[in-house]
Amino acid sequence: MLQELSWKVGGQQGEGIDSTGKTFATSLNRMGYYIYSYRHFSSRIKGGHTNDKVRVSTTQKHSSADYLDILVAFDQETIDLNAYELRKGGVVIGDAKFNPVLPENTAGDVLLFAIPFTKIAEQNGAAIMKNMVALGATAFVMGLSPDFCTPVLQSLFGRKSQKIVEQNQAAVLAGYEAMKAQNVSFPDFALAPPTPSDHLLMIGNDAVAFGAIAAGVRVMPAYPITPASDVMEYLIKKLPKVGGVVVQTEDEIAALNMTIGASYAGARTLTATSGPGFSLMMEALGLAGMTEQPVVIVDTQRGGPSTGLPTKHEQSDMYQAMFGTHGEIQKIVLTPATAEECFYAAVNAFNYAEIYQCPVIIMTDLALSLASQSVEKFSLDQVKIDRGLLATQEQLAQIGPGQLFKRFERTENGVSPRVFPGQKGGIHHVTGVEHNEIGRPDEGTANHVQMMKKRLNKFEGSELPNSTSYEGDQHPDVLLIGVGSSIGPISEATVRLRKHGVRVGHAHVHVISPFPVASLQSYMDRAKQVIVFESNATGQLYHLMQFFGLKHSEFSSQLKFDGTPFLPKEIEAHVKGSMIAWQR
């Protein structure tokens, strides 16, 4: 029996591909299997090829599979574009309506079945249910019961009408019977039973939003943009239930300025955007740094520049997150790698923002933001809220007559007490102009130097907890380094290479500001060769490492920037072809 299986459904945007994949993935996740589901979709509202590739496994995976076992096609284009992924002996199930054929270069022994999805759906109530027919046909191939998705159908349609639930069930059963009528058995596609588990299934954007609520967020000003909009949509549904509010602003400039204002008023608040929107926020980002106002910004990276590839994967905002805005301010940039990490990164982000009184950016990428992943239930015991240094009423009462509260007091660590509007004795001035300790404008040379040092020295030279992770051999021949969602394919490649006798280490970067110089250099010092894998065209992480002084005699970069994430086999192949230092 298989320990994992790779399944894909494809068709034209607007044909229900997303809902088909979600129903399939959610159903198997509820059965106890682990899911990694990655959507390829067009930036058009309707039309254009789209597909959803679902990896079903008895163990946790954080990457798409290298291959495909079953391809479900609602049009010939889906077969033409995706059949190359099918492994030997794979299965294609196409709608008989378009007379499906296999391309000439399809792998040997691939079986094609033309099942009348649309016709069967129409016979059961409506053509739109052809996706349910396809799920029924899939169930037969995988040896699943035809009612494997009934609980999910009940969740999706039960509130509308029981009749709709029953119609969809009938369509699934009809698809199952139509596949059964082909008189072909598929013993090689049966999955091993899952280990009982009640893990969740969610995308990274939802996990960030969930973590934000757990951290006490109550205000979110934002402007919709792909692929960040899900953060906003999640909070639109959930924040009102805890007394919070989401405000759709006229643009991203207003979104961050409103976020700064809400933070000043005392609320925990965030905004979310993607590359172009993040660019618009740069002036306000400087204001947050100058006024030492805690704010959290979620930047979900996508293909760029400009509108670029808004629905495709890339990791090309690292320079923007590190160095974006005018002048010089300190920022913290977190780079979670899994949906589970997104939850805890959100919690940490709000604590860091208030402890260090600076902007914190949670930088994800499209694959992490939108891929559905099985995650273990979050531990709310790990959620600790730290609002940083706040002035007490007793301290404010000690301010002498005629004196004002020193909101920007020069302290040893650069962090000065905050107050909230209306707090007795806490009156002070706030401006983007250079200012003195009580906030009054002061452009004097000495004052500027002192205040710059105060703002920049908050975490100079330090390394935040868990800025990096490491797995593999302690003294590797090859050290692989990555950031963000590439943790899945790099980790799988590491395991495979070690099975082939190669000594491999995998270091992953979870924080890029402050840059984890010491921990990364320690990993590199133990390796004979270092390769950085990242999804951009210029090697941003590789060059950041050099910018911060990291050195190695055999140090190289492997890039991918075609809009798709790395696959484990690509990393494995590159490492095998690059192992030079340790072979000498």
Q: Which of 382, 412, 445 represents a domain boundary (last residue)?
A: 382
143 and 244 fall within a common domain: no
Query: Could you tell me how far CA 441 lies from the centroid of its own chain?
Result: 41
Q: Across residues 10-32, what is the average pLDDT?
A: 95
Q: Which of 361, 382, 403 represents a domain boundary (last residue)?
A: 382
How far does the chain reach from its first CA to its final CA, in angstroms? Answer: 42
Residue 365 in any domain: the answer is yes
Residue 488 in any domain: the answer is yes
72 and 169 fall within a common domain: yes
Confidence of residue 108 (pLDDT cuts 50, 70, 90): confident
Contact 259, 287 (CB under 8 A): no
* pLDDT for 582: 52
The answer to whether the predicted template modeling score (pTM) of the entire model surpasses 0.75 is yes
Q: Across residues 290-310, what is the average pLDDT?
A: 97
Residue 426 in any domain: the answer is no
The pLDDT tens digits for 404-442 are 999 999 999 999 999 999 999 999 999 999 999 999 999
Confidence of residue 45 (pLDDT cuts 50, 70, 90): confident
Spatial separation of the C-alpha atoms in residues 71 and 203, rounded to whole Å: 23
Segments forming the whole domain that contains residue 510: 468-583
Residue 401 in any domain: the answer is no
104 and 222 fall within a common domain: no
The pLDDT tens digits for 208-227 are 999 999 999 999 999 999 99
* pLDDT for 196: 84
Residue 390 in any domain: the answer is no
Q: Across residues 546-572, what is the average pLDDT?
A: 97
Spatial separation of the C-alpha atoms in residues 324 and 301, rounded to whole Å: 14
The pLDDT tens digits for 312-346 are 999 999 999 999 999 999 999 999 999 999 999 99
Q: Across residues 53-76, what is the average pLDDT?
A: 97
Q: How many domains does the chain have?
A: 3
Q: How deeply is 486 buried, as exposed, middle or buried, from its count of CB atoms within 10 A (0-12, 13-18, 19+)?
A: buried
The pLDDT tens digits for 379-403 are 999 999 999 999 999 999 999 999 9
Residue 81 has pLDDT above 90, yes or no: yes
Element (H, E) at 220: strand 217-222
Where helices occur in 194-335 by DSSP H, the ranges are 204-214, 229-238, 252-264, 275-280, 282-290, 318-323
- Listed in order, strand segments (DSSP E) in 535-584 are 555-559
What CATH number does residue 26 fall under?
3.40.920.10
Structure tokens at 181: 């009528």
What CATH number does residue 524 fall under?
3.40.50.920
Residue 474 has pLDDT above 50, yes or no: yes
Spatial separation of the C-alpha atoms in residues 405 and 418, rounded to whole Å: 10
Contact 566, 490 (CB under 8 A): yes
Q: Across residues 527-535, what is the average pLDDT?
A: 97
Cis check: omega of the bond before 305, within 30 degrees of 0 = yes
Residue 424 in any domain: the answer is no
Half-sphere exposure of 305 (CA within 13 A, CB side): 6
Q: Which of 181, 215, 234 represents a domain boundary (last residue)?
A: 181
Spatial separation of the C-alpha atoms in residues 294 and 462, rounded to whole Å: 19
Average pLDDT, the chain: 96
As a whole-number percent, the residues of the chain with pLDDT over 90 amount to 93
As a whole-number percent, the residues of the chain with pLDDT over 70 amount to 99
239 and 280 fall within a common domain: yes
Residue 98 in any domain: the answer is yes
95 and 30 fall within a common domain: yes
Greatest Cα-to-Cα distance within the chain, rounded to the nearest angstrom: 93
111 and 250 fall within a common domain: no
144 and 228 fall within a common domain: no
